[in-house]
Chains A and B, each alone.
Chain A
Amino acid sequence: MTDKKYPLLFLLPYLGRYRLKIALGSLMVVLTVIASMFSPWVLKYVVDGLKQDISRDKLPNYAALILGISVVEGFFRFWMRRILIGVSRLVEYDLRNDFLAHVQKMSLSFLQSRSTGDIMSRATNDLNAVRSVLGPGIMYSMNTIALVIISTTILLNLNWQLTLMAYVPLALVSLTVKKLGNQIHDRFESIQEQFSNLSTKAQENISGIRVVKAFAREQSEMDEFGRLNTEYIRRNISLILLWGIFYPLMTALIGMSSVALLWYGGRQVIQGRLTLGEFVAFMGYLAMLTWPTIAVGWVINIFQRGAASMGRILEVMHARPEIRDEEGAAAPEPVQGALEIRGLTFQYPNATGPALRGVSLSAPAGTTLAIVGHTGSGKSTLVNLIPRLFDPPPGTVFVDGKDIRQWPVSELRRNIGHVPQETFLFSDTIRENISFGSRSGMTDTEVEQAAQASQIAEDIETFSNKMQTYVGERGITLSGGQKQRVAISRAVATLPKILIFDDSLSNVDTYTEEKILEQLTRIMRDRTTILVSHRISTVRNAHQIVVLKDGAIVERGTHDSLMELQGAYADLYRKQLLEEELATT
């Protein structure tokens, strides 16, 4: 629960890794501040000296001293920045790696329950806000604290009445920053909100432009947009008002401490209680304090935002992966690939009804099982449960006689080659995509063989960089069929014991399909294969065909026995013949 209340505490172990650096960086902060204290003091000697007609030989020494001090101070400041801001980047690096590692462990149902953009913004914007706490946030806090303590001590020793007078406006500055800062933040939020209304309107209008035009609603759309636009600037104006006050007020308040110094300090000089040099040094110290006092409010904001962002990051990082190895999970040796499903009923979280009802089937090792049915009949759900993309109820799905929930997840998946319904390739070379599942890397021959199996090898030959051709944004755009074939090669490349083709030939023409199937029979011979398809041509040679309807098996048998049955399968077959005829008309 600490991560709800003090999310930033979660960063401590990360910072702990760099404690030496942080200690060194803090030392640099103190040294920087101490070094900076000398310059005004030198000025004091210069001014007092000039008043008493010091010898002209001393002046070059003072000048050199001022320069020397700034070099020393600059040296410390360089290391302060380099070390402390550097640490913030190191922690950011660690945190981002850990974030990805955690997201990778999360199950599909978690990832599907939130948008990609949502997770992305936590890894980028929120992480950035947290980084600001670690870098500028911590550095400026330390700097301000050290500066205030040390300079106040010096000033109090110099003249405590004057110090108090000059500090009153400075305290007001910090308070104003905090107070106005909050209000500015609130108004800013309200502007953002209106901005998002405005954007939504524009987005909606542009996406729905055909409807707008069809109903000739352009004018009313413009009126509506104009109304939102005016409200947007009205809110902006309320911020401008504050903004217009903020910085000028800041300058004025800081100026007031100069006035106090001028008036009260001047009197003291006249009364002989302060030398003119001390007066000038006072001025120097005050100038140094200006920025840190403004920074106080700013740093507080950084911490507030950082805490909120860290909370959002922790929502992801502290979510428990749902699919994980159970205690004592072990894979049988050697793996055969026999699949058995007993009375499987499955319902997605938040769904109103089950996606699968009482499914039972058995595919002995090395046989081919085909699943056909309409869209939404539960085919993909069924095959997604086998590699545990979602967890089936215990005691329903078995591989080699062992409940898959008793298998180590990684072992189970390693033995399954899956060609998902929606082909997803990574923007990388074709070779990388094909050897994606290999843990130890693959030889060129192995990659080549996998490419042959899906008939993609010929296509690859025509690409200018062959196997090294990039897929996607940075390279060649593959056709739907080519993508599917690369995905098939990727699945067969590791020679898994179970192969799943989830409607994987839908974008390939029938001629190529035949050739792929021919090639695959060789590979499929000693592997259990599950074919999900709409097409009869794909499934007709399977050892076993099941027809799914509304999540339940309604027919099962071989192609011939199902045709004889004259049921759903036979109907599907007839329709496909018609479709083919139509395509050639």
Chain B
Amino acid sequence: MRVAYFPGCSLQGSAREFDESLRAVARRIGLDLIEVPDWNCCGASSGHAVDHLLSVALPARILGLAEKTGAQDLLVPCSACYNRLVTARQELREDQTLKAEVCELIEMELRLTVRVRNIVEVLKEAMEGKDFPAIETPFVHKVACYYGCLLVRPHKIVKFDRPEDPQVMDELMQAIGAEPVDWAFKVECCGAGMTLARTELVAKLCGRILDDAEARGAEVMIAACPMCHANLDMRRPDIEALAGRKFAIPIMYITQALGVALGIDASRLGLDRHMVPVVFKRAEQPGADEPRA
């Protein structure tokens, strides 16, 4: 399968292990990634907070460049970018006046035929294919699949999985040998873009998420968004300071867990780049990791 690939700014910086593990897994499963040439930032939450036209035009340039690759699908691993791209694409498809204005602004023609896909849906499709390689090292761990808020929203446009209790990531984890826990914070927001301006709010929201994941007996949390990962991993000291207690649970990207299961070397998956070391605290006695009530 050949897909256009838009990594986004985070995957070039603080979330580089998402990019590394994604590329390593893609090579192994025969997913041909064509990076969108000369892509720009999608504008993220600041773009749409400030100006509507800007929030559509920045993603539109990316969509225009992706069309030129000739691929049918555009893979966008960052949930925040994904949300901006699907939303902009939908608005442009529905509003011809806006489309004309944006095309003039970006000096590009837009056909809007390329489908915008998130990482979970692309991986699921690949796994269902018959050429998918065998699982070498089953990922035998209790996992809390954390979808985050934007992966499955807005449901009307995204039309992917369930907006409240999504399942696809859980199914993927089961397929590689993991045991997903049933928990309450699958789609709760981590605080995303407030990480600099209102760190204490991010710490509060992330503390609740980590607390529930640990209470349900998860050994590791699986994320599919660089914002979620940054807040839950990099902000761990802030979270712990506010909560007044330690959280040991590591956060892995879905591509890293899949990579481990496919037998890809840990160094190529960037597992050593996390702030919270990826070590699994297995319960020593059976029953000790039973969920709280």
Q: A and B from one assembly?
A: no
